[in-house]
Each structure stands twice: as structure tokens, then as C-alpha cells.
Amino acid sequence: MDKTQNLNETNQHGLKTIAYDNQTKSFPEIANLVQRDLLTGGVDFDRMLSTISAKEPFSVMSGIKPSGAYHFGSLLTVQEIIAFQKLGGTAFFCLADMEAYLDSSLPFEKAKKIAVDNIADVLALGFNVERSYIYFQSVEQRVQHNALLFSKFVTLNTLQAIYGKKRSIAYYNSALILVADILLPQIIDGPIPTITPVGMDQLNHARLTRDIVRKAYPEFTLPSFMFHSMIKGLDGSEKMSKSKPFSFFRLDDPEQNIIKVIDNALTGGKDTAKEQKLYGGNPKDCRIFDLFRIGVETDYQMLKKRELDCSSGELLCGPCKSDLKNQIITLRNEHLDKKKYFKEFSIKIVKEAAKL
Amino acid sequence: MDKTQNLNETNQHGLKTIAYDNQTKSFPEIANLVQRDLLTGGVDFDRMLSTISAKEPFSVMSGIKPSGAYHFGSLLTVQEIIAFQKLGGTAFFCLADMEAYLDSSLPFEKAKKIAVDNIADVLALGFNVERSYIYFQSVEQRVQHNALLFSKFVTLNTLQAIYGKKRSIAYYNSALILVADILLPQIIDGPIPTITPVGMDQLNHARLTRDIVRKAYPEFTLPSFMFHSMIKGLDGSEKMSKSKPFSFFRLDDPEQNIIKVIDNALTGGKDTAKEQKLYGGNPKDCRIFDLFRIGVETDYQMLKKRELDCSSGELLCGPCKSDLKNQIITLRNEHLDKKKYFKEFSIKIVKEAAKL
């Protein structure tokens, strides 16, 4: 796969593939992500696992840009945070409203409203509020303060090389705010290991973060990162994107819309049922299988069975899609019920985070 | 003078010369600065005077980079703040420790210690704490927050044009922090006129500030600025600078050092006493006269008499320098006594500003 190639190319930057081996096997929550091919590489990830084994304190740090409802693909990060909470970590969950303002001009008031919906999603998925610190970047003074300080520890050339040549420095400041987010657990709790789950496209950002830590906080533990593979657009495009309505869906979307997007999705099926029975389908390049893999079927044995049944030609696209629709609609309805249940709690959390 | 020429050149940017006219005459504190040739130009300065005449609320905003003791020249800004306090303004006094860190790597703890000395100076000069808000940039969340937001409202090109091409964006962020300082009075008290006294070299910074206000806070009153002429180095160099020990002195310096710097200062005298009696001296290009003008002799009539006596050849450099030394040593000792008196109060103010 391309992915593996990328990992080899970037090995000199401390990135290592994460394999389903003896170390990962001892952490079922992580092993499950690795088996499902969701967690592919990490920086200082094995050290993180040693920390967990030794039952030493650690934090898991991530968040969301509150500019819209979670789509099905982005819920992956939340699964990862929850996995590390279950392993004993304290979760730092950032509502990235400064980033949303600086990159996309999203007004802070609007971000707060959207955050209520995002937090309800997170709670519905099983996020443990007791072991967490949820905050808005625009309210968390330490994040803004450090972002400004960090501008001293990186050259304009480096920022332009990583993020492209931008018209204003807002985008670069936004990146430095994200660096400060990743440092916040250690600013608050002192030098302890932290793990941040990000997409594979954030590798350079991870390296920048570690470079800045080396210069600004040599006494801190270098942050660990784990990279999940990028989820492709359901319509066959390279990534899920608001500009391509058939590339993704949200669990909040009306049932009929979700069905429509699934019906339109790229599959790994052959042109005819006859061919497929003969030669089998290709689950590796099938967005229907991707949906099972990233969240509809979390049981690896069941997922493996589906993969084999497809490859062997036993399972055709029609019944497979039907399975997906049934399961996703059940999942949707359960999720929306849970969100409804958590609505008031979410409002309370957002008010607290906004210091209102 | 060069100065006048500069003003004409930049008139299109809203800069106007400030003259000793009927309007300024009605404000003795301001008239005195104009007469002494200290206050030379302003942006929206006449509107500021109308505000004062109408007895409407206004603020005066300035501060110091707490990286060293005040030198005699920089005390001018404090005189200006105090003048506007006397005219009814609320003073916002910024301890620019973020700027000191970003531009000169000054540690925050060191800045706090130096700030105690700076505030004692300011108090000794007559600053009215009751009508003021004194703060550290590193502690004032609103300043840091707005600085980050402002990075959206100015292009990298503009920042590079004004401040030069810098290696990192720290210097640009530092400039945006200063813009946020100037806006703080209106952030706290709502849209009211504010005046900021700065050196003539800050004209571009003033323009940037007003540009950002137009974009980010169209409901605010565009900040007014007043520009004082730059005080030249006593050794004849273009400006007072730490790298040139004979270019300046501090009131805290030992008497003998001050005397030495004065003895070494550039004068407007002729080569011989005979020549000077015949043709007169040149007070316009005399650092001894500058020292009288900027703070040793605040009585304009007395200053005028000294200028005439010099030009006419009646007053020679020897006795003039003696006058200066006597007066400056008296002034120094009085000032240091006052500083001593205010020491404890200054510590208290700095602790409060640092939220310790």
C-alpha cells in the first residue's frame, strides 16, 4: 500500500509503523484499531505503550474545529481518545474555535453553538467527562499565550514550507495554537507523556510540535503521536469534503440522505454478479467495506469474515450494502437517542468551557 | 527642520503638525509640550482636544518595555501620559513584557523585577494610579487574544514592509500585541477616544493600528496618536542607545557618571569663547539645551531666555553646562528620594498587575 511506502520514506523523522505484535496485542483497545487498519504509524508510540504498561500517568490530547457537525469519518478520532481514556489516560479535548476563526472566519458565537452538538456526539460515543478537560482555545489563556511565545522558536521559512505561502500570518498563528494545545496537558500537569491521534496528513505538524518543545520546554516529555490512515471520500474521491456532498454523511442526516450516499458509494465489486462470484470483490478498495471498518463493525473477527466472504465471491455487493444500511440506520438511531439524552449535559459543558 | 519636511511628506496619512495655536493654548499642559518642541505632530489630535474640551471621557494609552531602567529621554512619554491624566483621561499603562520576550528574549521573571523600578519612576514623576489600569501584556488575556485575531487583518507583505523582513513571525506578533494594547481601553470601556503618545518613528505602526481597527472593530473610535520628536544621543549620535554609553544616562546612575556623560555631550558652542561671544551658540543643535528642553527646564519662559542668551553669545557653554549639572543633580536626588518613597507601593502594583 502507498501508506507503507510513506512510512518508510519518513522513518528518519521518528515515525514508526504500528504493527499487530506482542506489544499492541496486550492492549485490546489499541490492537483492535491496528487490526482494523485504522492506526498505522506513530512517533514515540511504543514509549507511550510502556508508560501505560507501567501504569504511569499520561494524557491523550485531541479535539475538533467546531465549524460543523461531526461526519462519520471524523468520529474515528473520538474512538481513539476514548480508547486511551479506557487505558487510564486523562483526556484533553480542545474546541478549536481560534483555529476556526483564523482559518475560516467562523464567529466565536457560532462556534459555541456548534460545539454543543459536537460535545453531544462525543458523549454519545462514550467519552468520559470525569477524566477530561474540555476547553475553548479562545478562552484558554495558556494556549494563546504559548502560541505567541512559540512564534519565536520557528522560522517563517519553516512555516511556509510546512503550510504553504499564506497571505497573512493568521494561518501560521493558528498552527502555533495547535502546538500549544498539544503542550497544554504538560503545562497543566507537568512533564508527563501525552499522545495525540491525528490524520496521516499531520505528520509535519507533529514534527514541528516536537521541534518547538525541544526549544521552548526542554524539560517536557516529547509528545507522542499516532496517525490514522485518511478515510477516503465515499464517492471515490480522495477525501471526505463538504464541497462533495456524496463523499460523506453525518449521523444526524435524514435516513434517506444517508441511504442515498451509500447507494452512490464506490464499491470493490465486479461489473456483474457472475464475475464477482467467480473472481471475488476487492474490499481493500471499497468504501462500503471502509464504513464497516471505521465504525459500523468494530468486532475484528466479524470484519475479517466479511472481507473473506467478499474476496471469495461468496458475499455480493447487494446484500453487503443492505447489511450496511440496516446496521448504520440502527447505529444512527441509537446514536441520536444518546445525543438527545446528553443534550442538556453538553450545553452545561460548553457553558463551563466558555466560562459563561 | 527635517521634522517639518517629514510631516509634509506624510500628510496624506492623516498626520498633522501640532502648532502652538488658539486650540492648543487652551490646554496649558499640552501647550507647554508644543512650545518646548516636544510634541510635533498628531493623528486625529484636534478631535482629541475637542473631546477634552467637551469634558467627554477619554483614555491615554502608553507603556514601557521593562527591559531596563528608564533613561532620561524616555521619561518624556511619562510626562505626556501625566499631562493627559491631568486633563481628565484614564491612563492605560502597559508593561510590555511579551514584546520584551519576543523581541529581546527577556525572561518574564526578570521583566517583573525591572517593572518595579519602572513603576517607581512613573510614580515619582506624578502618575496618578487612581485613574489608571497598569498591566503586563503576558497576563492581560484580552491583549494576547486580540493580537492573535489581528493577524487575520493584515498581510504578511504589509508587516514586512513596515517592520522589515524578519526570520520568524515573533516580531510581527509583537507588533500586533502593541496594536491590541492600543485597543484595550476601548475593549474594556467601549468605544471612546484614546490618545497614544509615541516617537515619530512609530508613524507606520500608528497607521497599521488604525487600519486594523477599521477592519476588526468598525464600531470603535479610531485611536488618536501624538508624536514626539526623537531625542538624539548626547554624544552627537542619532539616538540614545545602550550600545553607546555616552549617548544617554539614567537618573539612577551615580552622580559622577552623569557628570561624565554631560561633560562629553555635543554642544552648539563655537570653537573659542571669543567666537561664541561674537557670533553666538547654536541651541538648536546642542544636547545640553536638549536636556533642558526635555525635562530639566519645564518653564517655557526660562527655556526661551536660555535659548536667546545662547544665540546672542551672552551665555557661554561653561556656565550653561554648570547650570545643567547643578539642576540635574538636584532633580536626580529629588527623584531618587521619591522613588525610594514609592518603592513598596510599586512592588504592590507590580504584584497586582502580575496577578501574584
Label residue B5 by pLDDT band (50, 70, 90). Answer: very low
Q: How far is B176 from chain A, CA to nearest CA, in Å? A: 10
What residue in A sits closest to B155 (Cα-Cα)? A168
**Residue B286 Cα distances to A87, B235, B248, B321, angstroms:** 75, 10, 14, 11
In sign, the C-alpha dihedral spanning B126, B129, B133, B136 is: positive
C-alpha span between A28 and A24 (Å, rounded): 8
Average of per-residue pLDDT across B172-184: 98
Q: Which residues of B touch A166 (CB under 8 A)?
A: 156
Interface test with B, best of A156, A166, A178, A179 (most B CBs within 10 A): A156
**Residue A312 Cα distances to A284, A289, A309, B184, angstroms:** 13, 14, 5, 69
Confidence at residue B13, expressed as pLDDT on a 0 to 100 scale: 62
Calculate ∠ Cα B155-B157-B163, nearest 5°: 105
pLDDT exceeds 90 at position B15: no
pLDDT exceeds 90 at position A7: no
Average of per-residue pLDDT across A310-336: 96
pLDDT exceeds 50 at position A6: no
Label residue A192 by pLDDT band (50, 70, 90). Answer: very high
In three-state secondary structure terms, A286 is coil
Contact in structure between A59 and A90 (CB atoms under 8 Å): yes
**Residue B65: how many CB atoms within 10 A of its CB?**
24
Confidence at residue B63, expressed as pLDDT on a 0 to 100 scale: 94
pLDDT exceeds 50 at position A8: no
Mean pLDDT, chain A, as a whole number? Answer: 93
Q: Who wins on pLDDT, B155 or B14?
A: B155
C-alpha span between A233 and A230 (Å, rounded): 10
What is residue B285's DSSP assignment? G
Burial of B169 (0-12, 13-18, 19+ CB in 10 A): buried
Using the structure block, give the residue that is written with the C-alpha cell 467519552. A127
pLDDT exceeds 80 at position A195: yes
Burial of B3 (0-12, 13-18, 19+ CB in 10 A): middle
Using the structure block, give the residue that is written with the C-alpha cell 490514522. A228
The single-letter code of the amino acid at A341 is: Y
Q: Do B152 and A98 touch (CB under 8 A)?
A: no
Contact in structure between B143 and A141 (CB atoms under 8 Å): no
Average of per-residue pLDDT across A3-19: 61
Average of per-residue pLDDT across B13-37: 90
pLDDT exceeds 60 at position A9: no
In three-state secondary structure terms, B16 is strand
Candidate from A4-8, A198-202, A316-320 with smallest mean pLDDT: A4-8
Measuring CA to CA, which residue among A312, A293, A314 is closest to residue A302? A293
Label residue B40 by pLDDT band (50, 70, 90). Answer: confident
Confidence at residue A13, expressed as pLDDT on a 0 to 100 scale: 62
What tens digit of pLDDT does each residue of B68-118 get?
Answer: 988 887 888 999 999 999 999 999 999 999 999 999 999 999 999 999 999
DSSP state letters, A39-59: EEEEESHHHHHHHHHTT---E
> Whole-angstrom distance between the N-terminal and C-terminal Cα of chain A?
49
Burial of A344 (0-12, 13-18, 19+ CB in 10 A): exposed
Confidence at residue B244, expressed as pLDDT on a 0 to 100 scale: 93
Interface test with B, best of A153, A173, A174, A355 (most B CBs within 10 A): A173
Burial of A5 (0-12, 13-18, 19+ CB in 10 A): exposed
> How many C-alpha atoms does B28 have within 13 Å on its Cβ side?
4
Q: How far is B108 from chain A, CA to nearest CA, in Å? A: 11
Q: Which H/E stretch holds residue A93?
A: strand A90-95
The single-letter code of the amino acid at B12 is: Q
pLDDT exceeds 90 at position A146: yes
pLDDT exceeds 80 at position A331: yes
In sign, the C-alpha dihedral spanning B331, B333, B337, B340 is: positive
Backbone angles phi, psi at B39, to 5 degrees: -105, 115
C-alpha span between B5 and B26 (Å, rounded): 27
Nine cell digits for residue A86: 479506557
What tens digit of pLDDT does each residue of B100-111 get?
Answer: 999 999 999 999
pLDDT exceeds 90 at position A12: no
pLDDT exceeds 90 at position B146: yes
What is residue A168's DSSP assignment? B
The single-letter code of the amino acid at B21 is: D
Note the pTM of the prediction, 2 decimals.
0.92
Residue of B138, B149, B156 lying closest to A145 (CB–CB): B138
Measuring CA to CA, which residue among A343, A254, A335 is closest to residue A79? A335
Q: What percent of chain B has pLDDT over 90?
A: 87
C-alpha span between B52 and B344 (Å, rounded): 34
A-to-B residue pairs, Cβ atoms closer than 8 angstroms: 73
Average of per-residue pLDDT across A219-225: 97
Confidence at residue B10, expressed as pLDDT on a 0 to 100 scale: 45
Confidence at residue B1, expressed as pLDDT on a 0 to 100 scale: 35
Calculate ∠ Cα B328-B331-B333, nearest 5°: 110
Confidence at residue B246, expressed as pLDDT on a 0 to 100 scale: 95
Confidence at residue A10, expressed as pLDDT on a 0 to 100 scale: 45
Kindly list the residues of chain A whose beta carbon comes within 8 Å of any beta carbon in chain B.
98, 101-102, 105, 138, 141, 144-145, 147-149, 151-157, 159, 166-170, 172-173, 177
What residue in A sits closest to B216 (Cα-Cα)? A105
Q: Which value, in Å, is the radius of gyration of the alpha carbons in chain B?
A: 21
In three-state secondary structure terms, A120 is helix
C-alpha span between B136 and B139 (Å, rounded): 5
Q: Who wins on pLDDT, A79 or A101?
A: A101
Confidence at residue A4, expressed as pLDDT on a 0 to 100 scale: 41
Confidence at residue B7, expressed as pLDDT on a 0 to 100 scale: 45
What residue in B sits closest to A147 (Cα-Cα)? B148
Q: Do A151 and B170 touch (CB under 8 A)?
A: yes
Backbone angles phi, psi at A303, to 5 degrees: -65, -45
pLDDT exceeds 50 at position A317: yes
Residue of A145, A152, A169 lying closest to B151 (CB–CB): A169
Q: Which H/E stretch holds residue A132?
A: strand A132-136
Q: Do B167 and A144 touch (CB under 8 A)?
A: no
Q: Which H/E stretch holds residue B94?
A: strand B90-95
> Whole-angstrom distance between the N-terminal and C-terminal Cα of chain B?
49
What is residue A315's DSSP assignment? S
What residue in A sits closest to B154 (Cα-Cα)? A168
C-alpha span between A47 and A18 (Å, rounded): 12
Mean pLDDT, chain B, as a whole number? Answer: 93
Residue B269's contacts (CB-CB under 8 Å, 6 or more residues apart) are B276, B281, B282, B286, B316, B317
Interface test with A, best of B101, B106, B141, B169 (most A CBs within 10 A): B169
pLDDT exceeds 80 at position A141: yes
